[in-house]
């Protein structure tokens, strides 16, 4: 159900948007995008709009996005049916959603705080486009699966966000998420990227279970890159915002990009026994308890 972010009453289709009969709230539909949180500014504290534009320029070719996408696609194949209703939260430009659509998933909604990301997604044919703040979402018991890929670390109150995911899912629904791993890999790059924390398996499991989920899988990936990320964290302690793109790995040469891509894939296979111990990123899949309330 699509609900009013203010009073939680059901919204109904109206002239040019969605309307709440209880509190007169209105979510306008502009250029195919439903706007629930117009007040969000481009320099939002959780994530800047300019970051979405940077993603669009590199995510098609950058090794990090390519390998992460492969990890996400495998997780969806293992845990989500093709006919299920999916929401991609913090969808950015729709890069992940496009790959899932190519894999046969058709009922995909995209949620993003910045409209520039949703406009990119619209170019690729997506129609269920929602601009909203995950801290105050406009859905209740609505989706079978929700994905958040490197989103939760950008939020100050991750407990609130995960509880909101729980409320948006139907009974038995699953959440699939990725986050940066290990506090000891924290660097100035994390700060300038808008991260509030990094996670390990224990902290992520505790967060999900406290919010009414049963954890189905929780493991690390980018295993072989962990030493390089540690060196980056030491080197980047004095990085300023003007250099964060390069230091975070967004600017990279073709040869290095190829080598790191091969190392990422091969490392996760060769060092798979370490997937519960170390890695640059963490993947978690959890299921909403059928006896818990949204």
* Range 99-111 average pLDDT: 97
What is the structure's pLDDT at 239?
53
- Residue 272 pLDDT more than 80? yes
Q: Rounded mean pLDDT of the chain?
A: 91
Sequence-separated (6 or more) residues with CB below 8 Å from residue 161:
134, 135, 152, 155
180 — phi, psi (to 5°)?
Answer: -70, 145
- Residue 281 pLDDT more than 50? yes
User: Does residue 249 fall inside a structural domain?
Assistant: yes
User: Does residue 69 fall inside a structural domain?
Assistant: yes
243 and 125 both lie in a single domain: yes
What is the structure's pLDDT at 277?
98
User: Does residue 81 fall inside a structural domain?
Assistant: yes
Greater pLDDT, 238 or 206: 206
What is the structure's pLDDT at 238?
56
Within 10 A of 215 (CB to CB), how many other CB atoms are there? Answer: 17
Within 10 A of 287 (CB to CB), how many other CB atoms are there? Answer: 19
User: Residue 69 is inside which H or E element, if any?
Assistant: helix 63-79
Which residues in 249-280 are b (16+ Cβ under 10 Å) and which e?
bbebeeeebeebbebbbebbeebeebbeebbb
Global pTM value: 0.92
What is the structure's pLDDT at 165?
98
76 and 54 both lie in a single domain: yes
User: Does residue 165 fall inside a structural domain?
Assistant: yes
42 and 161 both lie in a single domain: yes
Of 178, 207, 195, residue with least CA distance to 282: 178
196 and 151 both lie in a single domain: yes
What CATH number should be reported for the domain holding residue 130? 3.40.50.150
Of 161, 216, 152, 201, residue with least CA distance to 179: 152
Percent of the chain's residues with pLDDT above 70: 93
Domain that holds residue 61: 33-288
pLDDT tens digit sequence for 13-62: 998 999 999 998 999 999 999 999 988 877 777 777 887 887 888 898 99
């Amino acid at each position: 159900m699509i609900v009013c972010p203010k009073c939680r009453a059901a919204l109904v289709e109206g002239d040019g948007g969605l309307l709440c009969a209880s509190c007169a709230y209105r979510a306008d539909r502009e250029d195919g995008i439903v706007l629930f949180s117009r007040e969000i500014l481009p320099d939002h504290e959780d994530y800047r709009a300019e970051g979405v534009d940077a993603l669009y320029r590199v995510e098609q070719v950058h090794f990090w996005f390519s390998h992460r996408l492969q990890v996400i696609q495998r997780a969806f194949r293992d845990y989500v049916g093709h006919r299920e209703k999916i929401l991609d939260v913090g969808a950015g430009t729709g890069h992940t959603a496009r790959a899932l659509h190519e894999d046969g998933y058709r009922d995909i909604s995209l949620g993003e705080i910045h409209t520039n990301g949703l406009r990119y997604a619209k170019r690729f044919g997506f129609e269920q486009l929602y601009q909203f703040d995950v801290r105050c979402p406009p859905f209740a018991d609505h989706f079978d699966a929700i994905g958040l890929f490197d989103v939760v670390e950008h939020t100050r109150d991750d407990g609130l966000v995960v509880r909101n995911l729980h409320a948006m899912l139907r009974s038995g629904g699953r959440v699939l998420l990725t986050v940066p791993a290990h506090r000891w890999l924290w660097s100035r790059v994390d700060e300038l990227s808008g991260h509030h924390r990094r996670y390990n398996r224990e902290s992520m499991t505790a967060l999900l279970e406290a919010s009414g989920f049963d954890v189905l899988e929780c493991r690390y990936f980018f295993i072989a890159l962990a030493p390089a990320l540690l060196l980056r964290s030491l080197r980047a302690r004095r990085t300023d915002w003007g250099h964060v793109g390069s230091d975070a790995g967004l600017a990279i040469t073709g040869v290095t990009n190829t080598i790191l891509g091969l190392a990422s894939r091969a490392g996760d296979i060769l060092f798979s026994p370490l997937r519960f111990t170390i890695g640059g990123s963490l993947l978690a899949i959890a299921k909403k308890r059928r006896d818990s309330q949204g």
